[in-house]
Structure 1
Amino acid sequence: MSTDVPDSTLSVTETKMGNATAVLTPVLGLMVPMVWCSVVTSLVLAVCTLAWRLRYSAMKDPASSLPLPPGSLGWPIVGETVQFVVQGAQFYVDHFKRYGPIYKTHLLGSPTARVSGAEHLHHLLNSEPQSLTMKLPGSVRHMMGKASLVTSKGDDHVRMKKIILEAFTTTRLSDYLPCVQQNTQRRIKSWCGQGRILGFQACEQLIVDLVLELVLGCRLENDRDGSVRKAVMTINNNLFCVPLNIPGGGFYKASKARAIISEFVLRRLADKGDKEHVSMLEVFLAAHHTEVGAAGKGAGQGLTAEEIVDNAISLMIAGTGTTSGALCCLLLLLGQHPEVVEEIREELNTAGLLSPDGPGELSYDVLQTLEFTQSVIKESLRLHTPAGGAFRKAEKPLEVAGYHIPKDWTVVYSIRDTHKSSKVFKDVSEFKPSRWQDAELSERLHRENPCHYMPFGRGPRACVGKALATMEMTVFLVELCRLATFELHNPDADMVFLPVTKPADDLPVTFYARKEKSN
């Protein structure tokens, strides 16, 4: 049998092969450059990444034999910022699990060392302000203002802090108390009968009312259209954002809101405040100097108008978001633990404060006697710390736990991770207010290391308003347990931690007016 292929068949085969070749040739012609482009891109990226890492490794002090902290500086230029924006606080959780209490990263344009653990922070914070100075993200720095206590350094910081602390003395806190109590009562009573509301938003509205009145003497009648209140909330909602002034963007919205508040503060200054109403503005006005020195600073030890405006805005920003979150977390924990509500009520009853029809005006001294109520606040702040950490700048090379942190790096000290990893507290993840009634715990914290518990930070940059925030939380608990009962609709909500600690769903809740039990 012949095996020869007919010429006609060969012709057809050759034609098909020729067609296939005609098709594949341009495809192959495109693939080769694409492969080379991919290879070249990968090589360029690898070289850039290596140069990126070497650049920051070169910042290491050659005199130090210690290694940089573990971790990754991420991609060139952007570092790990994209991962941080996408993940939020979960970014820190994952890195802590992977690298431990001290690690390096690159966030928001800066090489960054994040440090947690009481033993590490005690050493670190003792170097303030000589080796560590305040550093804030660009958007926060802009909103606070260049002439505020938060952004000031050196002698300016010392001068302004001395003046501003006058607004937080025990005498001043006692003067603020009626305002705090009246606003808290009004808001809680308004929540009852509204049906289902969002707890965080309700707490935020209360705290904005309080802060505007306490800082500027701005009552509801001074802000009839609510524009100043809306401006404060707008800044809080857009505080951490990319500092690009693009219309419609977060920074753009927050900047316009800041201008509204600034204009309002200047009007209050021009009116010399409100002599019939107690507020922090009185302290600022008493220290106000219209003369400005050659360096642009207030004459003598006073405050310029710019410093008053920036500090008023800073206090409003610092005093709203975190305290709103703290009140919301109190609601969450009390809803999860109704037996704690009953213990608070027992303490209030013993102090003669429980009746919904009484007890008249609270006194600052009486609030300090409510030991269990104070314990609830301490435990809530430990478990759900309002601010997860604080930003600093290394002015000198630092050595922490066997690692080297180069000069000019950002240093973030983590309050939340430190609380969660502390060995001082038994059952660290559980809500146990009674632990704070153990005198041995307070003694141990003082004796061993105060950094095991620091919800308001530590050192010269610790929160100046911590006594006021604690008083606001105490009054909130007193009036809440006295006036209302409430029901959480999702007591097992996930938590979010940026920009403040709060339930992810803003805590849906229904309040009811409380009636006294008949004897």
Structure 2
Amino acid sequence: MQPYLQLASLRLATTIPLSRKLYTANLLVTSEAMDSMAYIALCAAALAVLAALLRWAYRWSHPKSKGRLPPGSMGIPLLGETMQFFAPNPTCDVSPFVKERVKRYGSIFKTSIVGRQVVVSADPDMNYFVFQQEGKLFESWYPDTFTEIFGRENVGSLHGFMYKYLKTLVLRLYGQENLKAALVAETDAACRGSLAAWAAQPSVELKEGLPTMIFDLTAKKLIGYEPSKSSESLRKNFVAFIRGLISFPVNIPGTAYHECMEGRKNAMKVLRSMMKERMADPERRCEDFFDHVIQELRREKPLLTETIALDLMFVLLFASFETTALALTLGVKLLTENPKIVDALREEHDAIARNRKDPDAPVTWAEYRSMTFTNQVIMEMVRLANIVPGIFRKALQDVEIKGYTIPAGWGIMVCPPAVHLNPDIYEDPLAFNPWRWQNKPEITGGTKHFMAFGGGLRFCVGTDFSRVLMATFIHSLVTKYSWRTVKGGNIVRTPGLGFPDGFHIQLVPRN
């Protein structure tokens, strides 16, 4: 019995350690198998995500269409070709973004800007068709970032009856009747006063001086502006707004876009306070355009809302001074470089002054209408300035044009610079040559070959005012002063026109 117990205890002693090793080995095998399975699952998940991303990227770069899309590239997913669109261009020529793609794909191409699918048109016939089909096949549209800047209820985002109603309202201020009655004399007085003040200084930075002059004039007509600390602050808010207006849309402190949005917020705060004060005073007389807007809001069944009214005032304050100031700044630079054109202008304007009983009398409407060569100079200035690098519309349905299909919901960017600087339309297009407009009929709306003031139903309502202001400024400048460049004058487009180092000139009174 004892040997058997010893043998049993020996077996127990030898089998127990063996079973532990075996158990440990099984655990290791199981753990390795689980690790392998987890690795395989992880790889499968990664491959699935990669496949989904590749599929999404493919769909991004190859958008669906019921017809033939224009050629082009959609760029990097989400970002698209936004970086290339905003790349600086230090010339008056068509931006490299458009120029390179027109050369590669033709005058109609697809792209993606700030996350939206867009068809860009440098084709005059297509541009004209898009403008003429406003409200039928297309409607006014701007990328979301632009809408954030100008307000979701801004006049550019409204359609149909409401847009026509606002346009009629604005024409009370900028229509020809008011121009004849008051604005010609008022713009002439503003130009004379500013030029006289600048001539008393060693030099003037024109890119700062002109916007200030025009803002003081237009803001007085729009909101009863008077030079004061509060109104000066309002102008500074608009300056901040403009610096980042056409910039890469990243709303982070320190960026131009963030500065732009802060400028808008502060300007809107001033306008909102002004509206609240005027709405609380029913006895207030109608003294400026804002008062007319307040009257519309007080109607029993107003068509306006306070949001639309505030966005309207904001857009008018911006549009009425910045665009004209940029065109005039570039215009003076071009005149400085072309003394022959200055001589021709002086001949026309000195003759106007000689025919007056009082040579120092203000410009009249009849005199303005007689400035034939001046009008040609203004046309050439705005053609080369190309203040608006793109005019946006949106397709309301699938549109077949020029052998391509523009899908419903896609944006269309009409590109005025590509038309204005097309050598097939304008001989030597980068040359400043006002005589190219000689013996041509006056343009009172957008055409296939000229759209500096827009086109179709949305032809700029402030066109006549801008022309009058530019003409009266030129009249005072060439009849009373000579000038020379002190420094600056370099331009950059990003894609909007800018003068990074300003444009400083010295004014000298003529004998």
Which TM class, normalised by the smaller chain length? Answer: 0.7 to 0.9
Structure 1 residues without counterparts, runs of 5 or longer: 1-39, 292-298
| TM-score normalised to structure 2 length | 0.80
Residue 55 of structure 1 and its aligned partner are, at CA, apart by 4.5
CA distance in structure 1 between the aligned counterparts of 2:284 and 2:463, rounded to whole angstroms: 26
CA distance in structure 1 between the aligned counterparts of 2:78 and 2:204, rounded to whole angstroms: 43
Residue 204 of structure 1 and its aligned partner are, at CA, apart by 2.3
| TM-score normalised to structure 1 length | 0.79
CA distance in structure 2 between the aligned counterparts of 1:162 and 1:364, rounded to whole angstroms: 22
The structure whose Rg is larger is 2
Partner residue of 2:265 out of 228, 252, 259 = 259
SS in 2 for 1:166: helix
Residue 481 of structure 1 and its aligned partner are, at CA, apart by 1.1
Residue 154 of structure 1 and its aligned partner are, at CA, apart by 2.8
Q: Does 2:278 match 1:281?
A: no
Other-structure match for 1:461: 458
SS in 1 for 2:76: coil
In structure 1, give the amino acid aligned to 2:191.
Answer: T
Where in structure 2 are the equivalents of 1:491-510 lying within 5 Å? 495-498=491-494, 500-507=496-503, 509-510=504-505
The 8 Å contact of residues 329 and 503 in structure 1, kept in 2 or not, is answered as no
CA distance in structure 2 between the aligned counterparts of 1:196 and 1:471, rounded to whole angstroms: 25
The 8 Å contact of residues 482 and 514 in structure 1, kept in 2 or not, is answered as no
Residue 312 of structure 1 and its aligned partner are, at CA, apart by 0.7
CA distance in structure 2 between the aligned counterparts of 1:479 and 1:162, rounded to whole angstroms: 32
The 8 Å contact of residues 88 and 492 in structure 2, kept in 1 or not, is answered as no
CA distance in structure 1 between the aligned counterparts of 2:47 and 2:441, rounded to whole angstroms: 57
Deviations 1:48-98 (A, max 9, x none): 45643435644312xx3xx21111111122111233334564322322333
The 8 Å contact of residues 176 and 214 in structure 1, kept in 2 or not, is answered as no
Structure 2 CA distance for partners of 1:470 and 1:192, relative to 1, 3 Å: same
CA distance in structure 2 between the aligned counterparts of 1:253 and 1:501, rounded to whole angstroms: 18
CA distance in structure 1 between the aligned counterparts of 2:166 and 2:130, rounded to whole angstroms: 24
Deviates more, 1:270-279 or 1:151-160: 270-279
Q: Does 2:202 match 1:195?
A: yes
Aligned residues: CA RMSD = 3.3
CA distance in structure 2 between the aligned counterparts of 1:243 and 1:392, rounded to whole angstroms: 20
Structure 2 residues without counterparts, runs of 5 or longer: 1-44, 90-94
Where in structure 2 are the equivalents of 1:231-380 lying within 5 Å? 231-241=237-247, 245-269=251-275, 270-271=277-278, 279-289=288-298, 299-300=301-302, 302-352=303-353, 358-380=359-381
In structure 2, give the amino acid aligned to 1:281.
Answer: F
Q: Percent identity?
A: 23
Other-structure match for 2:65: 60
Other-structure match for 1:400: 401
Structure 2 CA distance for partners of 1:266 and 1:43, relative to 1, 3 Å: closer
Deviates more, 1:105-114 or 1:359-368: 359-368
SS in 2 for 1:220: coil
Structure 2 CA distance for partners of 1:446 and 1:278, relative to 1, 3 Å: closer
Where in structure 2 are the equivalents of 1:365-444 lying within 5 Å? 365-421=366-422, 423-438=424-439, 441-442=440-441
Deviations 1:459-511 (A, max 9, x none): 112222111111111111111112321112569x653233532455433x322
Partner residue of 1:170 out of 172, 176, 192 = 176
Structure 2 CA distance for partners of 1:107 and 1:344, relative to 1, 3 Å: same
CA distance in structure 2 between the aligned counterparts of 1:289 and 1:256, rounded to whole angstroms: 30
Structure 2 CA distance for partners of 1:286 and 1:45, relative to 1, 3 Å: same
CA distance in structure 2 between the aligned counterparts of 1:59 and 1:318, rounded to whole angstroms: 38
Other-structure match for 2:217: 210
SS in 2 for 1:150: helix
Q: Does 2:506 match 1:514?
A: no
Other-structure match for 2:137: 131
SS in 1 for 2:441: helix
In structure 1, give the amino acid aligned to 2:271.
Answer: V
In structure 2, give the amino acid aligned to 1:187.
Answer: S
SS in 1 for 2:75: coil
Deviations 1:281-325 (A, max 9, x none): 24424433365xxxxxxx25x433332211010111222332121
CA distance in structure 2 between the aligned counterparts of 1:183 and 1:432, rounded to whole angstroms: 28
Structure 2 CA distance for partners of 1:147 and 1:47, relative to 1, 3 Å: closer
CA distance in structure 2 between the aligned counterparts of 1:53 and 1:186, rounded to whole angstroms: 61
CA distance in structure 1 between the aligned counterparts of 2:286 and 2:201, rounded to whole angstroms: 31
SS in 2 for 1:513: strand
In structure 1, give the amino acid aligned to 2:266.
Answer: I
Number of residue pairs the alignment of both structures matches: 457
The 8 Å contact of residues 479 and 510 in structure 2, kept in 1 or not, is answered as no
CA distance in structure 2 between the aligned counterparts of 1:216 and 1:321, rounded to whole angstroms: 17
SS in 1 for 2:405: strand
SS in 2 for 1:218: coil
The 8 Å contact of residues 69 and 403 in structure 1, kept in 2 or not, is answered as yes
Deviations 1:324-370 (A, max 9, x none): 21011111110011111111111111112699x94222222321111
The 8 Å contact of residues 286 and 292 in structure 2, kept in 1 or not, is answered as no
Other-structure match for 1:22: none
In structure 2, give the amino acid aligned to 1:513.
Answer: V
The 8 Å contact of residues 187 and 217 in structure 2, kept in 1 or not, is answered as yes
CA distance in structure 1 between the aligned counterparts of 2:509 and 2:48, rounded to whole angstroms: 70
CA distance in structure 2 between the aligned counterparts of 1:401 and 1:252, rounded to whole angstroms: 40
Partner residue of 1:485 out of 478, 482, 486 = 482
The 8 Å contact of residues 155 and 163 in structure 2, kept in 1 or not, is answered as yes
Q: Does 2:72 match 1:71?
A: yes
